[in-house]
A and B are shown apart, each in its own frame.
Chain A
Amino acid sequence: MTRYTWHFEAVWENLPLLLQGLWNTCLLAPLAMAVGLIVGLGIALLRLSGVWGLSALAAAFTELFRTTPLLVQVIWVYTVLPLLTGITLSPFISGLTALGLNVAAFMAEIYRTGITAIDRGQTQSALALGMTRAQAMRRIVLPQAVRRMIPPMTAMWVALFKDTSILATIGVVELMYQARVVASDTFRPLEVFTAVGVLYFLLTYPQALLGEPALRPAESALMSAPVLRVTDLHKRFGGTGSAARGLAGGAARRGDRAGGRQRVRQEQFPALPEQARGAVERVPSISTTSRVTAASANLAQVRRRMGMVFQHLNLFPHMTAVQNVMEGPRTVLGLRRAAAHALALRMLAKVHLTDKAEARTWELSGGQQQRVAIARALAMEPEVMLFDEVTSALDPELVGEVLTVMKQLADDGMTMIVVTHEMAFARRVADRVLMLDQGVVIEEGPPEQIFGAPVHERTRRFLRRLAWEEQAT
């Protein structure tokens, strides 16, 4: 690295020149956009007209402009068009024409996909109301299509704003042209090009932000990585706010897992795996000594010894049923393919799905998928299985087959923590029932007590409603 002294005077002293260029840039972009919006709509309508010659012509126009570099188009319009037509255009008008037509080609596609994306049924129901085609287009299709078109159009506008710089090559006096003039006059390309780059950035960036708010919420959902936070599996849970405190207390009294099967039922508890990362650290009542740290290796270690089945199935759609079950033993436990396959088949047999081993996930019913998910968790030979509302997303007639498998697991002596609304199941299978309300354990005890002689008013109300519902159905 050589020491370099910046000389931004080169920029300040020539500011009027640069501002003049900026002015033309800011003039060109909206003008070209206007041309593109209007011409593009015409081309899109021609393309959709269904008249063969017109559609083909419109298609040829869009494809030609979309598959050649803008630079070629600009130079072609500037140098070739006058030779062909005999009309000489100023650089500004040539540049505007080329840029406008280029934008029109992209706009035509945006219009077209926007319009065709609206369900055919929408047009049909509008026509069925007695609207004309034009009315259906204007009142029903376009208003919906426009909403879809806005993000790609914003992106187009941003690209266009930057692309105006290409017109510098044919001598349009816009920002980039002036930048090159000033840079070569002052022999200060570093300062001039840097300043102009920053200027473009400051002008473009805010516009680019308008186009893409859609990504941001989804991203934050991933950042708050949805992970169950358990500090000590046999004693207490971690979770959000009061839910954690209640559960930590309630579960801690349960003592050791060695006692055999323990099950928790809870109501209005936020789905276990959807808690925000870091929630445990915010709960002061949980001891720091046994806290699971954020280190992913540590978490993976803990998870290896627990099985988890989700409400939303979460099978891996790019794998068959048996591959889903093999995935954990192969990747995490490092089993060889043959061993993992044999293990997976044993697990599938446990959930009565041997015949579906080679099925793709979408070929399976919800109940079958959920059983594959149970087999997948079992294949890791977990010390404890977590079930999070595993029957809630299923059709009522499919609930039974999943519950049967779970009952069978319980009879085999598997330790299970089950979050469920299936009261009959909880009553029959659970050793211990926790009643949760607003994230706090309000009542805890053996099922006979919870269902037979509930102490808490909230539990009684819940059971009364349940009885009423059962009567009603």
Chain B
Amino acid sequence: MSTWDLGVVTNNIGYLLAGLRMTIVLSLVSLALGLAVGLVIALLRLSRWRALRWSAGLYIDIWRSTPFLAQILWIFYALPILTGHALTAFAAGVITLSCHASAYLAEVYRAGILGIAPGQRQAALALGMTNAQAARRIVLPQALKQMLPAIGSINLFKESALVSIINLQELMWYAESLSGFTMRSVEILSATALIYAALTYPQALAVNYLHRRQRAA
């Protein structure tokens, strides 16, 4: 039984914070992209043209039915061979995380849109609105409120830890390097777990709150 030596964490806190910063930047950039791309995919998925619906469905299913690890390795190692352009680890991380998130978000959006009673859209169209106007003024504002908890439960902070596999220097990468370097994995990895929990927990609380509020309404 070894004794805990938390000094190893405090001495190296600078590295962990640098990693944390990268984790946050990576996750937030990817989330922003994922939210936008996801909406486009969802609208394509609901399009009236079969080819668009089908392509969007394929996109969603591919990203949802393969492991994230396979996706990141493919984007980082295989895609550059096809395109002839090497990717930085950060770019590969952002591409993978945002595409991954967009596929899930597209389904969230779609469920939210379909959850609005068809009568709402009918009534908007009956007023002479175009499809786009009905979506923007009537369906989306209502759908968004219902989707909020589901959108909030998409958590890229946790997912982004896997990007360490392609040597992007985020929190998990520093944690693993420091564990090997200091031979103090107990302290380093436990601290890292707590940092992730602290990063994720507020979001989980917010989602719980949204769920409760929605149920109350």
Contact = CB atoms under 8 A, between A and B. Distances in A.
Interface string B76-87: 011001111000
B137 A72 contact: no
Contact of A312 (B64, B119, B164): B119
Given A2-B84, A166-B69, A317-B142, A183 B77 contact: yes
Interface in B110-147: 110-111, 113-115, 117-131, 133, 137-138, 141-142, 145
A168 B73 CA distance: 12
A76 B190 contact: yes
A296 B44 CA distance: 17
Interface stretch (B6-14, B29-37, B88-96, B154-162): B154-162
Interface string A185-221: 0000110011011001100110010000001001101
A75 B119 contact: no
Interface in B48-70: 48, 61-62, 64-70
B209 interface: no
Interface string A155-174: 00010001111101100000
A169 B68 CA distance: 13
B77 to A, nearest CB: 4
Given A310-B122, A314-B123, A162 B81 contact: no
A218 B158 CA distance: 32
A207 to B, nearest CB: 8
Contacts of A215: 110-111, 114
Given A197-B71, A200-B66, A300-B130, A310 B119 contact: yes
Q: How large is the interface on B (under 10, 10 to 19, 20 to 34, 35 or more residues)?
A: 35 or more
B196 interface: yes
Given A4-B82, A67-B204, A80 B77 contact: no
A71 B161 contact: yes
Contact of A189 (B73, B117, B138): B73
Contacts of A227: 122, 125
B118 A226 contact: yes
A146 interface: no
A190 B82 contact: yes
A303 B126 contact: yes
Contacts of B124: 316, 327
Interface residues of A, number: 81
Interface in A302-335: 303-308, 310, 312-318, 327-328, 331-332
Interface string B185-206: 1100110110011001100100
A380 B127 CA distance: 7
Specify which of B69, B130, B179, B201 lies most central, judged by the most chain A CB atoms within 10 Å of its CB.
Answer: B69
Main secondary structure of the interface of A (DSSP, over half): helix
A1 interface: yes
A299 interface: yes
Interface string B167-187: 000001001100100000110
Specify which of A66, A84, A205, A300 lies most central, judged by the most chain B CB atoms within 10 Å of its CB.
Answer: A300
Contacts of B172: 69, 71-72
Nearest to B115: A218
B81 A310 contact: no
A301 interface: yes
Contacts, number: 217
Contacts of B164: 71
Contact of B189 (A75, A158, A197): A75
Contacts of A467: none
Contacts of B204: 63, 66-67
A327 B133 CA distance: 11
Specify which of A63, A162, A226, A228 lies most central, judged by the most chain B CB atoms within 10 Å of its CB.
Answer: A162
A134 to B, nearest CB: 28
A332 B126 CA distance: 11
B70 A179 contact: yes
Nearest to B145: A318
B196 A69 contact: yes
11 contacts: A75-B185, A163-B67, A166-B67, A190-B77, A204-B65, A296-B131, A305-B128, A312-B117, A316-B123, A316-B142, A318-B141
Interface of A: 1-2, 4, 63-64, 66-73, 75-76, 79-80, 83-84, 86, 158, 162-166, 168-169, 176, 179-180, 183, 189-190, 193-194, 196-197, 200-201, 204-205, 208, 215, 218-219, 221-223, 225-228, 273, 296-297, 299-301, 303-308, 310, 312-318, 327-328, 331-332, 373, 376-377, 380
Interface of B: 1-2, 46, 48, 61-62, 64-71, 73-74, 77-78, 81-84, 110-111, 113-115, 117-131, 133, 137-138, 141-142, 145, 157-162, 164-165, 172, 175-176, 179, 185-186, 189-190, 192-193, 196-197, 200-201, 204
- Closest 3 A/B residue pairs (Cβ): A304-B128, A69-B161, A328-B127
